[in-house]
Structure 1
Amino acid sequence: MFPYLKEGDIVFFKKYKKNKSILKNRQIVIFNHPVKNKKLIKRIKSVNQNNVEVIGDNIKFSEDSNKFGLINKEKIIGIFTSKLIIPKLKNFLIQKNRSTSLNPK
């Protein structure tokens, strides 16, 4: 499967609320990596009471549950809702973000 999201895509999500949000197979979630200090966006492969198995769309190159195992639901930050698909606006926002993060004088 080709990746639905690419690096640099601007995504929107709803905040995950334990015991209120419903997680389903094939949803895309944002979560804290179970070991490393970084955030990941992956698709849910399976859900059980306390844990979620996640898988990347590009399985061959993905860092997902195949490498780090199940993730605890408490690691989930949000559930993906949409992505920005207007190329000119996306490029503008990326450039604006880069200009503010470069070495300010």
Structure 2
Amino acid sequence: MSPTFKEGDIVFYKKYLINKSNLKVGQVVIFRHPIQDRIQIKRIKQIKENCIEVIGDNSKYSNDSKSFGFIQNEKILGIVTSKILKF
């Protein structure tokens, strides 16, 4: 499957607030990478008490929870609501 988001895409998101925002499997979230100093966008695969597992849409080549494990909720910045399509 092709990546849904590419570098340079413009996305809209709502800020994630711990204990106030509802996370759901299948949502796309923006988060701080747990190891590298960068921000990533991935889809939620699984939700646990205080963390999530994320997966890339292009899973064969994706740097996701298979590589770095679960994301702590404190690392989540927002929930993607839409993106601007490029033509």
TM bracket (short chain): over 0.9
Matches within 5 A, 1:14-53: 14-53=14-53
Choose between structure 1 and 2 for higher RCO, CA contacts under 8 A separated by at least 6 residues. 2
- The superposition leaves residues 68-88 of structure 1 with CA deviations (integer Å, 9 ceiling, x where unpaired) of 00010110000000001254x
Q: Which runs of 4+ in 1 moved over 4 A?
A: none
Q: Give the alignment's TM-score, normalised by structure 1.
A: 0.79
Q: Would you tell me which structure has more helix in proportion to its own residues?
A: 1
Structure 1, gaps ≥5 residues long:
88-105
Which residue in the other structure is 2:6 paired with?
Answer: 6
How many Å separate the matches in 1 of 2:42 and 2:55?
A: 6
Instruction: Kindly report the root-mean-square deviation, in angstroms, between the aligned alpha carbons of the 2 structures.
Output: 0.9
SS where residue 24 of structure 2 aligns?
coil
How many Å separate the matches in 2 of 1:35 and 1:62?
A: 15
Structure 2, gaps ≥5 residues long:
none
Which residue in the other structure is 2:77 paired with?
Answer: 77
SS where residue 61 of structure 1 aligns?
coil
Which letter maps to 1:38? R
- The superposition leaves residues 3-46 of structure 1 with CA deviations (integer Å, 9 ceiling, x where unpaired) of 11122110010000000000000000000000111000000000
Q: Give the alignment's TM-score, normalised by structure 2.
A: 0.95
Q: Would you tell me which structure has more strand in proportion to its own residues?
A: 2
Look at both structures and tell me which one has the larger radius of gyration over its CA atoms.
1
Aligned residues: 87
Which residue in the other structure is 1:56 paired with?
Answer: 56
